Every structure is written in structure tokens, then in C-alpha cells.
Structure 1
Amino acid sequence: MLSQLHCFAQSGNAYKAALMLELCGEPWEPVHVRFFEGAARTSEYAAVNEMAEVPVYSDGRVRLSQSGVILDYLSHKHRCFGAETEAERLEILRWTLWDNHKLTANIATARFMQLYLAERHRNPDVIAFLMGRARAALGVLERRLEARDWIVADRPTTADLSCAGYIWFLEEIGLEPAPATAAWRDRLAAQPGWKHPYELMPGHPFEAAE
């Protein structure tokens, strides 16, 4: 059977897993989760993931949620984009946790509030706060990449794929990648098998709530 990934096109977290599957060459099929219609909050979906989130990956042997866990599993399964030393393993973990807490969290929430939340519920002060935190996190990433091609090693690892989850969505909310980040994004896009999130996962285009 084909591996499956519960996902939708607007999710950068799901994109991390989808891109990893493509780059590792694993055949898979998307299962479209109509997240904005409340599909992840149903009792049926709770049987898939009690956390009510995407992505969820299954290959007949395991069912996994949380993008960092999926990236780690696929890295070991395919022996790709992983650590070669204990020091690299810890650095990959460090940057993956930072991404989920600082980079992805702020970009994703700011984007959700600007594009997908009903306009009457959008709070300009909250959005401005989140955008400030997103810019600060992007600054950390930029400084990391100014003197190196990849975040952890001399090659791309799952740390790069994790931090790249929302990097192709920046312009949608008025953010621009700084020079080193833009060059890193181009290097990722040059990897064999790379596809944009809107090409990889179902649900695009999306009509924003009014």
C-alpha cells in the first residue's frame, strides 16, 4: 500500500512531511483534511489524531503525527537528510525545536490570522505582535545562514526541511526573505524532487473567510 499523509495545501507543517517524502523518493498519497471546515475537530478525525492537527503520516507500520517526529522517522527509514554524528543529531534537534516554537509558530499564526480567519475576528494589534516575532525569528535564521549553506551540516538535513515549512509562504503576508535566507531557499528548491506546497498537497486555491 502507498503511504498516506493527512494534509492540506495551506499547512506548512504538513509541507515539511510532504517535501521529505518527495525528496526521499517514497511513493505516497495525500488525504485531504478540510481543516478550515472543521474536519480536524470531528470525532472521526480524533481517531486519526487526538491532537486535531496535520500532518499525520502512515505507512502500514506506524501512524505518526507532529512534523518533527515524521521527519525523524523518514530520515531513519530512508537514511537521508539525517545526522552523521552525535553532535549533528543534537543540532538537528535543537533547530527543529526552535523552528516549531519560534519560526513556524509565529509565521503560521500571523498568516492564519491575516488570510484565513474571518475578517471580523482579525485583531490588528495581535497580528502586528506576531509579525514582529516572525521577523525576529527570520533574523535568527538569516544570521545562521550568512556564513553557511545549510543550517546544521555541509548538506541539507531535516533541520532545513523543518525550518523551510513556511518559507515559501512569506510573500503572502508581506514578508521577504533576507539575502542569505533567499539563497538557502533557492538551494532547497534546486533539490531533485522539490515541489511547491501548492503542487504537493490538495486544497489550493482557498477562498478566505469574510
Structure 2
Amino acid sequence: MARYKLHCIGASGNSYKLALYMNCAGLDWEPVGVDFAGGATRDPNWRAGTNAMGEVPVLEVDGQFMSQSGAILVWLAETTGHFAPAADERYEALRWIMFDNHKFTNNHAMHRFQRSFMPEPVHPAILSFLRARTESSFAIADKHLADRAFMLGDRPTIVDFSLAGYVYYPPEETGFDIAADYPALDAWRRRLAALPGWKPPYELMPLGSDLRLMMNRPA
């Protein structure tokens, strides 16, 4: 039985951040499918026993259930030592993880969700707004990576895994061609993909259910 159990779905980029980190770190982990489309995360019993916030991912380790991918990455780095920022990089690491959660991943994920997982076409103005926000956060990261291999310098850290959440889903699903439009971001993405243990999201987490089934249900 694996020590680390990741409650997740394959379509969740926030879940992928943790799955990719643990795989590249060589940790003993396994994915545990959550019936997200079937309403599992809205079930009172699931929330009481797994995550009161009603979200995936959830990391289960030694009987403890942990949520929020950014906080979990920090905890994993501090407890395992893998991909941990140096002591003098801690503020910079937290700064970029917060940027990722608030803008980079958030904007990209929202655009992808509205574009590909809604039961009916979304108003063009909504997609335009979300696309502009995604392009802005992509441009910031692309400029930052123009003169460095990874987000904090010459080696990968938890910051890189945080930003990696949604950048490996297929362009036809996300609506963004990173390889064509963001050269530094794409080069960084390819360096991460060269790490031992790297796998794309749906291969690393081959489970979950069709997100389209959960539309029009109360939160």
C-alpha cells in the first residue's frame, strides 16, 4: 500500500501538480479516483471525512487529509527535501506559488473549463476576458523564464511543479498553443518534461469522470 494517496481526477491540473511532483521525486504514491462528475465532492460525508472545502486534490498520508495544492507542495518539500527551495529562496518561492494560484493556473484553468467543459457554448465575451487574463499571466512567466532554466534559477523546485499544472493538457482542450506563442515558457516546459518520472496528466492520473456530466448542478 502506497504511503501517499492522491485523491484526484485526471482532468484536474491542480491534482497533476502533486502527481507530477511525487512521481519525479520518486515517492511511494498512488492516485485515488474521485467521482467528481457524480457529485462526490459535494457529498456531506465526503466533505466531513476528506475535505471540507469540497475540492480535489486531497493528499492522504499517515491518516491525515491535506488540501490546497500550493500548501501541499510546500509541505512535501519541507518533509521530503525533494525540489525544496533554498532557505534564502523561500520568500521568492511563495511569491511565485501565490502568483500561480491567483493568476497563472487560475486564469488558464478557468479559460479551459469554460471553453471545453460547458454543456453549451459560452458567450464569446467571457472567453475573451479569460483569454486576455491568461495571455497576461503567460507573458509574465515567459519573460521571467527568458534568462533562466527554471523559475528560481538553474534547478527545478516546487515552484515549477506549481506552474506546471495545466501546461501539458492538449491545445485543442486548452485553446492555447504554448509552443508557438510562448518560446521561453515552452522551453521551460520541455526541460520539466525531461525530468525522470515525468508523464502527461491523463497518463499519470488515468482516472476520474467526464466533467461535462457535472454541469448545471449546484455547488
Q: Is the pair's TM-score, using the shorter chain for normalization, greater than 0.5?
A: yes
Instruction: Report the AA paired with residue 8 of structure 2.
Output: C
Please show how residues 2-21 of structure 1 align to structure 2 within 5 Å: 2=2, 3-21=4-22
Q: Which of 150, 158, 179 does residue 183 from structure 2 map onto?
A: 179
The runs of at least 4 consecutive aligned structure 1 residues that moved more than 6 Å come to: none
CA contact (8 A) 2:8 2:208 kept: no
Give identity over the alignment, percent: 42
For the structure 1 residues 207 and 52, does the alpha-carbon distance in structure 2 shift closer, same or farther, using more than 3 Å as the test?
Answer: closer
Greater shift after overlay, 9-18 or 145-154? 145-154
Asked if the contact 2:34/2:208 (under 8 Å) is kept, the reply is: no
Q: Secondary structure at the match of 2:153?
A: coil
Contact 2:7 2:58 in 1 (8 A): yes
Distance 1:160 1:134 in 2: 17
RMSD across aligned C-alpha pairs, in angstroms? 1.8
Whole-Å separation in 1 of the counterparts to 2:123 and 2:30: 37
Structure 2 alignment gaps of length 5 or more: none
Report deviation, 1:203: 3.1
For 1:62 and 1:153, locate their aligned partners in 2 and report how far apart those are by CA, in whole Å. Answer: 33
**CA deviations over 1:81-116 (Å, ceiling 9, x no partner):** 112232x11111000000000011111111111111
Q: How many residues align?
A: 208
Match of 1:33 in 2: 34
1:198 paired to 2:199: no
Matches within 5 A, 1:49-88: 49-86=51-88, 88=89
Q: TM-score, normalised by structure 1?
A: 0.93
The letter for the 1-side match of 2:98 is: L
Cα deviation code 1:149-177 (max 9, x no counterpart): 11113200101100111111261222122
Residues in 1 aligned to 2:104 and 2:16: alpha-carbon distance in whole angstroms = 15
Q: Alpha-carbon deviation of 1:30?
A: 1.1
> What residue number does 1:152 align with?
152
CA contact (8 A) 2:112 2:174 kept: yes
Task: Give unmatched runs, 5+ long, in structure 1.
Answer: none
**1:205 shift after superposition:** 7.9
Deviations 1:106-142, CA, capped at 9 Å, x for gaps: 111111111112116x232111100110011000010
Equivalent pair of 2:100/2:106 in contact (CA under 8 Å): yes
Aligned partner letter, 1:154: D
Contact 2:35 2:208 in 1 (8 A): no
Change (3 A) 1:159 1:11: same
Q: Normalization by structure 2: what TM-score?
A: 0.89
AA of the residue aligned to 2:184: A
Q: Hey, what's the Cα distance between the residues in 1 that align with 2:153 and 2:211?
A: 40
State the SS of the aligned residue for 1:57.
strand
Range with bigger deviation, 56-65 or 16-25: 56-65
Kindly state the Cα deviation for residue 206 of structure 1 after the two structures are TM-superposed: 3.9
**1:22 and 2:23 are equivalent in the alignment:** yes
Q: CA deviation at 1:37?
A: 2.5
